[in-house]
Amino acid sequence: MPARHGRLAWAFGLVALAAACNNMNGPQSHLANPAQLSSDLETASGVFQSTVFEGFAAIDTAAGSPAAVATRPGVLLGTAPIALPRTASQLYASAPRRLEALRTAALVLAPGIMASVIPAPLLGTTSMWDVTTHAYIQSSSATPAAPANGVRIIVYTIDPATGHITESPLTPVGYVDLVDHSSGNTNSLQVTIFGGTPGATGNTTYADYTVTATVTGSPVVTGFNASASGFVTDGIRTLAFSGTFVATGLDTNHPNVTIDGTWDLDNPVIHVVSHETITSPDANDATITLDLSVTRGNETVSETGSILVVVSPQTVTADVAIAVNGVPFARISGTNNGITIRHADASALSSDETQAVSDLFTLPAQLQSAVESLFNPARHLMGG
């Protein structure tokens, strides 16, 4: 089996791909062009592949970076990235742990949040990399000035082997403006990533999106809401996204989470919609329900089902149905000790169909780290 086919096995802790005997009845749909579906999904993940995005990802951990400064509700925001659904191995098995981390983080926060994200001393400043100190420093001579209610960070090429800024030669490739739009009890941060030099004409806007976070409950935190909307582009293709994250019952030992998101790629045209809930009776168990659809032209491929997770002893039980335009196509079922994938009529999937199913699940994996990096400045500035 080709290496790419193995990604589905990795995603689900899969140890067996088997076709059952022909003991199922009912209609059987087929993908119009499974190979093209795989190609289009690969294209979607490529939107994040540019030197500017690579440099942007580095500011999250670079010494002296304003984006590494922590304030408050990012403790919660860090548990709630608004991104495409995670792979099974990352999301499903860790769901109880994520809920417990969310509950614990909420309990240590005082009720409400300050209506500001960026610390006052950073407002209106520009940070540039200094090769002598090997860290970001504030520049007093940077022109034009950064937004008065924000901070500007120059982005540089990075060493792909280390993820660190390359100092010889030090090459700026763009900049990011972080602008504070907070008001009332809602923290809000706009993130805009540019290619080029501040003040120059013809700069490309590679991303423009806004992240908000609100904590509710007094005197004990009971809920948390986060949202994000905007777009990213590689200069050729644009991916627009919008998402919400709602957590309730944070003052109990069984919090619940609802995550909704949409993603739209313009070339090729792909529309992704996701609805996910996570419920837990206790810290050892969680039930994840999934409803994901990918639409291309006249074809909509949907995934619906549930994943049951037990932390100790660890088990992951999946029952996920895949349909094409509402007609059953395939089912994924079993546990982490053995998963079966078969057509609705119990026949085996073709090689291209197996690849397409694999890519449906690994698209989230490919985009996850890239999308999470978009939220890191907000997460740190909000306290993560």
- In this structure, are residues 73 and 80 in contact, taking their beta carbons and an 8 Å threshold? no
The predicted structure's pLDDT at residue 96: 61
Express each pLDDT in 110-159 by its tens digit: 455 556 778 888 889 999 999 999 999 998 788 899 999 989 999 999 99
Is the pLDDT at 104 greater than 60? The verdict is no
User: Which one has a higher pLDDT value, 95 or 211?
Assistant: 211
How many Cβ atoms sit within 10 Å of the Cβ of residue 172?
Answer: 15
Q: What is the pLDDT of residue 272?
A: 87
Answer for the pair 339, 333: CB distance below 8 angstroms, yes or no: yes
Asked if 350 and 28 count as a contact pair (C-beta separation under 8 A), the reply is no
Q: Which residue has the higher pLDDT, 103 or 319?
A: 319
pLDDT band with cut points at 50, 70 and 90 for residue 370: very low
234-243, 262-271, 353-362, range with greatest mean pLDDT: 262-271
Average pLDDT over residues 226-244: 86
Query: When comparing pLDDT for 267 and 228, which is higher?
Result: 267
Per-residue pLDDT of 3-22, as tens digits, reads 444 444 434 443 333 333 33
Reported as a pLDDT band with limits 50, 70 and 90, residue 106 is low
**Taking the model in full, what pTM does it have?**
0.79
Among 141-155, 262-276, 353-367, which is the least confidently predicted range?
Answer: 353-367
Name the residue with higher pLDDT: 322 or 22: 322
pLDDT for residue 368: 45
Can you tell me the distance from the alpha carbon of 241 to that of 367, in angstroms, rounded to the nearest whole number? Answer: 12
Residue whose token pair is 């899969």: 14
pLDDT at position 221 is 79
Structure tokens at 119: 């610390």
> Quick one: which of 5, 8, 2, 14 has its CA closest to 365?
8
In terms of Cβ atoms closer than 10 Å to its own Cβ (0-12, 13-18, 19+), residue 152 is: buried
Q: What average pLDDT does the structure give for the chain?
A: 77
pLDDT of residue 100: 61
- What pLDDT shows up at residue 7? 42
Taking only Cα atoms into account, the Rg of the chain, rounded to an integer number of angstroms, comes to: 22
The structure tokens listed for 46 are 């490529």
pLDDT at position 136, please? 92
Domain edges within the chain: 9-48+86-112+217-366, 50-72+114-202
pLDDT at 301 (0 to 100): 94
Give the span between the Cα atoms of 32 and 3, in whole angstroms.
Answer: 24
